[in-house]
Structure 1
Amino acid sequence: MTARLALPLVVALMLGPATAPSASAQAPAEFKPGEWTSLLNGKDLEGWIPKFTGSPMGENYRDTFRFEDGVLKVSYENWDEFKGEFGHLFFHQPFSKYRLRVEYRFVGEQCPKGAGWAFRNSGAMLYSQDPTTMRKDQEFPVSLEIQFLGGGETGERPTANVCSPGTVFTMGGKLITQHCTNSNSATFRGDQWVTVEVECHGFGTIKNYVNGELVMEYEKPQLDPNDPDAAKLIKDGRRDLAGGWIALQAESHPIEFRKVEVMPLED
């Protein structure tokens, strides 16, 4: 019920951080400032590295991440129930100053025994730690999560919120230490496609857009010394994050991605 990603260095990467090179040791792609480049090849997971809670890096647990009909899917058809096996699919190199554009939609029913908060819930992890430094049983990488949320039949539920596993940031001149902070976006119900863009300026300003509308602005992402996983990543007292890896989430609800693109920024 598992699949392994066919990447040049995946065998070495699965040995773990003590003996493996960093995930950025994969063959680098060419990215030009001011130009959008797709991170998806439209046919398979080449260039991406899966990591599921409880499984070694590189193992695509229960074939959850897959390409079908030209879109990247998070599928739970091979699952009987969800037992906390959170999944993250990492692009194989880090970024610092860039724009990320993702088009997503939620489909189908949530995997049985998925948490209530995980209904129509996914996201993109930005400023993430190198996946080779994650513990085997770690649930989420130290990162800034840009939440992708879908609404239920009633009630308001904005998307492009920010959650911060192992991190903190500044907004409106205040240090934000709570786990999740909502954006000002509308609520999107059903299986409609939604476009989220995030503009990242390293340790500077970060802006979240939904369907072209600015819904959130914040800055100065930092490692949280109170988080055990983040504390291990602090070197020479430096907590500021100027960049990191991008990962897409699998949290128990099926989701499709038809566009994942990056544009490096001139500055």
Structure 2
Amino acid sequence: MPTIKHLAFCALSAALAGCSQNPSTDQAAHSADTPQWQTLFNGENLDGWTIKIAGYPLNENALDTFLVRDGKLIVNYDQYDEFKGRNGHIFYNQPFSHYRVKVEYRFVGEQAKGAPDWAWRNNGIMYHAQSPQSMALEQGYPACMEVQLLGGNGSEERHTSNLVTPGSHALYQGEFRTDHIIESTSKTYHGDQWVEAEVEVHGDELAIHYVEGEEVIRYSGMQLDDGTPLTEGYIALQAESAPIEFRKVELLNLKGCMDPKASNYKSYYVADDPQTCQH
């Protein structure tokens, strides 16, 4: 039962911020509204990730392409004499269907020799990707949706967080598109500056790209070339000849228990998973 002192405090402060007569209820509501971001890259090693580089067996980190240095996940080409089409990806080991994934990245250094001009300061966040275990030995890209990360050249406009569709398609502004690249409305980020990129994904129904917290493109109807809906898959970071650093890779799961009576209910979930409910 609330004390007289507590009731008096509520009456005094209600006009400013409101006051519940049940502090534990307030705390539970706050917890349900508080996003629980999961750190995918721990800043120390590549635990929880699987490497696949074209032409190499699963988890062979050819020429130290992927490194951890000074708390950052690095795509590195110091040991490459020539690129030779060795596109690589590093996959987080757990698939997801409804989520937000956020990275902080920057391009650094020189492109690997022999790489195509279009790949200069070009990388990507692959999502809803096929598993690395299912990729062929020489396969350069997983079938997936891609948030294309591009760095500026110091003068020209070059949008980042574009939509790229390796082995896939989507609906953009209500129209089925077969374009391989659909540009975003982002600003251009020149030099070696850090940039925050995020994609919010709701199964195959909706995807929204954000750059520095601002929406730059949205689309829906994500699917493979054969029309199979892309409802879930793996998250991967690309190695496409451009040295790049990631200092943050985080995920907010948007699928979980949507029963308000459960202790692990979250108000921001968009897809229900009743089996996870804790009562």
How many Å separate the matches in 2 of 1:196 and 1:219? Answer: 19
Amino acid at match of 1:264: N
Determine which structure has more spread, i.e. the larger CA radius of gyration.
Answer: 2
Residue aligning to 1:184? 185
What's the counterpart of residue 15 of structure 1? none
Write the letter of the residue equivalent to 2:111. Answer: Q
5+ residue gaps, structure 1: 1-31, 226-237
| Segments ≥4 residues shifted beyond 6 Å | none
Q: How does 1:121-200 map onto structure 2 within 5 Å?
A: 121-200=122-201
| Residue 103 of structure 1: aligned partner | 104
Structure 1 position 81 matched with structure 2 position 70: no
CA distance in 2, matches of 1:68, 1:205: 35
Q: Paired residue for 2:72?
A: 71
The reply on whether 1:92 has 2:93 as its aligned counterpart is: yes
Q: Within 1, Cα distance between the matches of 2:147 and 2:128?
A: 11
Between structures 1 and 2, the one with greater helix share: 2
Tell me whether 1:252 sits opposite 2:241 in the alignment. yes
Q: Deviations over 1:196-237 (max 9, x none)?
A: 010100011110000011000101100102xxxxxxxxxxxx
If the length of structure 2 is used for normalisation, what is the TM-score? 0.79
C-alpha distance in 1, partners of 2:241/2:204? 32
The number of aligned residues is 224
In structure 2, C-alpha distance between the alignment counterparts of 1:241 and 1:81, rounded to whole Å: 35
Match for 1:257: what amino acid? F
Contact 1:127 1:244 in 2 (8 A): yes
Write the distance in 1 (CA, Å) between the matches of 2:43 and 2:155: 35
| Residue 120 (structure 1) aligned with residue 116 (structure 2) | no
Identity %: 48
Separation (CA, whole Å) in 2 of partners of 1:41 and 1:102: 13
1:34: how far off? 2.9
User: Structure 1 counterpart of 2:244, which letter?
Assistant: I
Q: Over residues 1-31 of structure 1, what are the superposed CA-to-partner deviations in whole Å (9 max), with x where a residue is unaligned?
A: xxxxxxxxxxxxxxxxxxxxxxxxxxxxxxx
Secondary structure at the counterpart of residue 133 of structure 2 = helix
CA distance in 2 between counterparts of 1:209 and 1:42 reads 23
Q: Distance in 2 between matches of 1:259 and 1:187?
A: 21
| Post-superposition offset of 1:33 | 8.7
Q: Which has the higher contact order (CA 8 A, sep 6+)?
A: 1
Judge which range, 254-263 or 153-162, deviates more: 153-162
CA distance in 2, matches of 1:202, 1:90: 19
The aligned residue for residue 216 of structure 2 is 215
- Given that 1:40 and 1:259 are in contact with CA atoms closer than 8 Å, whether structure 2 keeps it comes out as yes
Counterparts of 1:264 and 1:33, CA distance in 2: 12
SS in 1 for 2:61: strand
Equivalent-residue separation in structure 1 for 2:94 and 2:180 (angstroms)? 26
Structure 2 alignment gaps of length 5 or more: 1-32, 255-268, 271-279
